[in-house]
Structure 1
Amino acid sequence: MDDCLQQLLNNTTAFLETECPKLFVSKAIGYAVIAGSALVKLPQILKIHRAGSVAGISHASVLFEFVATLVNVSYFLPLGYPFSTWGENAFLLAQNSALYILHAHMSGGLRASFLLEASAACASGYVLYRRLVPDFVLPAAACGALGLRRCTVSCEELAGTLPMLLGLVGRLPQIAQNLRQRHTGVVLSLGLNLVIVAQILLLGGTPKKAANKAA
């Protein structure tokens, strides 16, 4: 990135003939996504605060979404990738944390159950961040049934896949509650997550690390 900036300052023609324009566009898109994610949950948080109620919002779904973003950040932090490639997860974590605390407060106060849930979530995030879970092998029958290329799962692969699984499972309580209350809102997201999870199971593992990480 520094080389691209130097080329831009010294010689515009040379800059256009390199991969630098693509890099700048990629960075711009990454930061645009981060900027958008910084506000995505804010309307819901403000609406709950003004209404003074969390009626219609599933506690389990809020909890799962909070844990999913926590695990996501725990996955990316040790990899050393540029913030522009994963920073939206940090802002989503902050907003999901606020939403989780707000929901707990308005649905009965910050009781012992909230402290236990929050402590367990943070402990799980730390374990995955430190990559403390040893590699484990799936049973051959399950591995074959899922069509996986290999049966050994590393802690990094677990941390990379778990957020999508949590996001998938976390939407089910909200869907059930919406059906009871005759509301809609998350079925499309559920379908998209099912597609992503199916791809992970069929293709196996998390994406390979880039050989040369961007600056």
Structure 2
Amino acid sequence: MVASNATETFIPAFIAVWLKLLAPDECYDEFFVKFNVLHVPCLKVLISKCLGYAIITGSFIVKVPQIIKIMKAQSGEGINLVSVTLELFAISAAWAYGAGHKYPFSAYGEAIFMAFQTVSISFLVFVYSNQLAKGLAYLSVYVGIMAFLLSPSAPLGLLAVLQACNIFTVSVSKLLQAATNYRNSSTGQLSVITVYLLLFGSTARIFTSIQETGDTMVVLTYVVAALCNSIVAAQFVYYWNSAGTNTNTSKKDL
């Protein structure tokens, strides 16, 4: 099939394989065989795929600024560990749910990379609080749980329950961090780059989830995530010139 389409459209087979990641099945024919570039349903698929893979690409580094900032300061001050753990739960549940339901990788792939980075942040908070043993225990428990959730032994019903809990978990996670910022009158060691990338990602995921999964539970989770991320993002603007923020970090230290 690839060879045939590639011949009809003068597109080499190895390029056709990559193009089909963005325009699968009928949409490949519409765009590259019939040259119907204004086919609206396929344009939606193309936009969704491009956004999805852009989010996944960004997820490789989305929390790296946060990790660097903690390591540079050698402090997890201002990082609410309960909030980070709840966020890790939400990310990991989305990963397991997407994989378990065999959704397209472009619909949930960023959760994999964000999970590794988020658990690293939790571990660093333990390390810089002189609680290495607790940090190692935290990692061990997380790895064990994910090994089960990603295995064929994990019931789809359980994964659905975890995904349903995400709506509550995401909101509580972000609101806890927002409350910590409010109490400290500062965003502490939070990274403005990470926070705004998360806001962009959760907002874009509303569209891609509607397009690629049609799963109401997943869509609603990202709607809540976008709203809550916007609260934390707004706090950066509000506390940008606060004494607390300037004490903990330079404005240039993002």
Using the size of structure 1 for normalisation, the TM-score is 0.64
Q: 1:11 is matched with which residue: 29, 34, 44?
A: 34
Q: Distance in 2 between matches of 1:108 and 1:51?
A: 14
1:92 is aligned to 114
1:168 is aligned to 171
Query: Post-superposition shift, 1:77?
Result: 0.9
- Preserved contact between residue 78 and residue 129 of structure 1 (Cα < 8 Å): yes
1:203 is aligned to none
State whether structure 2 residue 141 is matched by structure 1 residue 102. no
The letter for the 2-side match of 1:170 is: S
Q: Distance in 2 between matches of 1:19 and 1:87?
A: 23
Q: 1:47 is matched with which residue: 69, 72, 93?
A: 69
Query: Post-superposition shift, 1:130?
Result: 4.6
The letter for the 1-side match of 2:183 is: R
- Preserved contact between residue 93 and residue 159 of structure 2 (Cα < 8 Å): no
Q: Distance in 1 between matches of 2:45 and 2:177?
A: 39
Q: Distance in 1 between matches of 2:118 and 2:184?
A: 23
- Preserved contact between residue 72 and residue 89 of structure 1 (Cα < 8 Å): yes
In angstroms, what is the RMSD of aligned CA positions? 3.1
The sequence identity of aligned pairs, in percent, is 31
Structure 1 unmatched runs, 5+: 136-153, 193-215
- Preserved contact between residue 93 and residue 166 of structure 2 (Cα < 8 Å): yes
Describe the shift of the 1:11–1:171 C-alpha distance in structure 2 as closer, same or farther (beyond 3 A). closer
- Preserved contact between residue 66 and residue 96 of structure 1 (Cα < 8 Å): yes
Q: 1:25 is matched with which residue: 22, 36, 47?
A: 47
- Preserved contact between residue 67 and residue 121 of structure 1 (Cα < 8 Å): no
Which secondary structure state, in structure 2, belongs to the residue aligned with residue 108 of structure 1? coil
Which protein is richer in helix relative to its size?
Answer: 2
- Preserved contact between residue 123 and residue 138 of structure 2 (Cα < 8 Å): no
Query: Post-superposition shift, 1:23?
Result: 1.7
The letter for the 2-side match of 1:124 is: I
Query: Post-superposition shift, 1:114?
Result: 2.4
1:118 is aligned to 139
Query: Post-superposition shift, 1:176?
Result: 4.4
State whether structure 2 residue 59 is matched by structure 1 residue 37. yes
Structure 2 unmatched runs, 5+: 1-23, 188-224, 232-254
The letter for the 2-side match of 1:98 is: S
Query: Post-superposition shift, 1:133?
Result: 7.1
Which secondary structure state, in structure 1, belongs to the residue aligned with residue 132 of structure 2? coil
Using the size of structure 2 for normalisation, the TM-score is 0.55
Query: Post-superposition shift, 1:25?
Result: 1.8
Alignment of 1:121-140 (within 5 A): 121-130=142-151
Describe the shift of the 1:95–1:21 C-alpha distance in structure 2 as closer, same or farther (beyond 3 A). same
The letter for the 2-side match of 1:114 is: G
Query: Post-superposition shift, 1:172?
Result: 5.0
Query: Post-superposition shift, 1:109?
Result: 4.3
